[in-house]
Amino acid sequence: MAEIAEGGGGGHGKGGKKRAKKQSTRVDMTPMVDLAFLLLTFFVLTATFNKNKAMDITFPAPPEGPPPPPTKNAVTFMLTKDDKVFYYVDEFFGPESKENPPTVLTEITYAPDGQKGIRDLLKEKNKKADVLMAELEAERQRTKMADSTFKKRLNSINNKSDAVTVIIKADGDAKYRNVVQLIDELKLLKISKFVNVDMTPEEANLLKAATGTAPAAVQ
C-alpha cells in the first residue's frame, strides 16, 4: 500500500526553535483513484437499459352494421377510472328487462392465479379452448408441425364458438395503461378473440351506479 510521504519528519528534533517547516507538496493520489473507480462502478451498475418492446395488435375492421350479438361464451370488461375493472358475462340485460334478470356488474382485479382475479375468470371461461390448444402444442412438439399448419389450426380452435370472446369497453376516465394491461393479460392467456367497442348508455348508467360517479363521456 502506498504510504503517506512524511515530508515534515525532517524538521523534527531541532529543539524548541521556531522554524518554518518545509512541508512536502506531494499529494497522495490513492483516494482519488478510489473515487474514480467508485464512480465508474456506480454508473456501470446503475445504468438501466430502456428496454422498449413492441406488442403487435390487429384491430378488427369496423362492423358493417350494428355489432353482431355476442356468441355464447362472452365476457365484457368495463374499464373505468382508478384502474377499476368491472365485468359481466354473456348478454347485457337492462334493468327494465322482463324476460331476463338484469345484468349486475361485478368488480374484479388482476389477482394472481387462484385468487378469483381476471386470470382465473378467463381461464375458467376458456377451459375447452385451452385444453385443445395444449393438445395442439403437444402434437406440434411430437410431429414437428410446420408453422403455417400450427397457426391455421390454432386459428380454427379460437374461432369455434366455445372459445371465449372478450369485449373491452372503456369509458372516458380509463387510462391507456388499463387497456394495455388487459390486452397483455389476454395475450398471456392466448385469447385472440377480442374486440374494443363503445359503451352503450345503459351500460354507462350501470357503471355509474357501480362506481358511484358519472363516467366522463367517450368521444
162, with CB counted inside 10 A (0-12, 13-18, 19+), is middle
Tell me whether residue 90 or residue 123 sits nearer to other proteins (CB atom): 123
**Distance between CA atoms of 96 and 102, rounded to whole angstroms?**
7
- Indicate left, alpha or beta for 82 from its phi (over 0: left) and psi (-120 to 50: alpha): left
| DSSP 8-state assignment for residue 160 | S
Tell me whether residue 20 or residue 55 sits nearer to other proteins (CB atom): 55
Sole binder of other proteins in the list 17, 46, 176, 212 (CB under 8 A): 176
Site for other proteins in 187-216 (CB under 8 A): 187-188, 196, 216
**Distance between CA atoms of 107 and 101, rounded to whole angstroms?**
18
Q: Least distance to other proteins from the beta carbon of 101, Å?
A: 30
Q: Is 146 in the site for other proteins (CB under 8 A)?
A: no
Tell me whether residue 71 or residue 196 sits nearer to other proteins (CB atom): 196
**Inter-axis angle of helices 118-125 and 176-188, to 10 degrees?**
40
Q: Is 60 in the site for other proteins (CB under 8 A)?
A: yes
**Distance between CA atoms of 214 and 219, rounded to whole angstroms?**
15
Q: Is 45 in the site for other proteins (CB under 8 A)?
A: no
Sole binder of other proteins in the list 15, 61, 69, 201 (CB under 8 A): 61
Sole binder of other proteins in the list 17, 53, 98, 142 (CB under 8 A): 53
Cell (9 digits) for 173: 376516465
Q: Is 113 in the site for other proteins (CB under 8 A)?
A: no
Which phi and psi angles does 9 have, rounded to 5°? -65, -25
Please report, as ranges, the residues that interact with other proteins according to CB under 8 A. 2-3, 5, 28-30, 32-33, 36-37, 39-40, 50-62, 79, 170, 172-181, 183-185, 187-188, 196, 216, 218-219
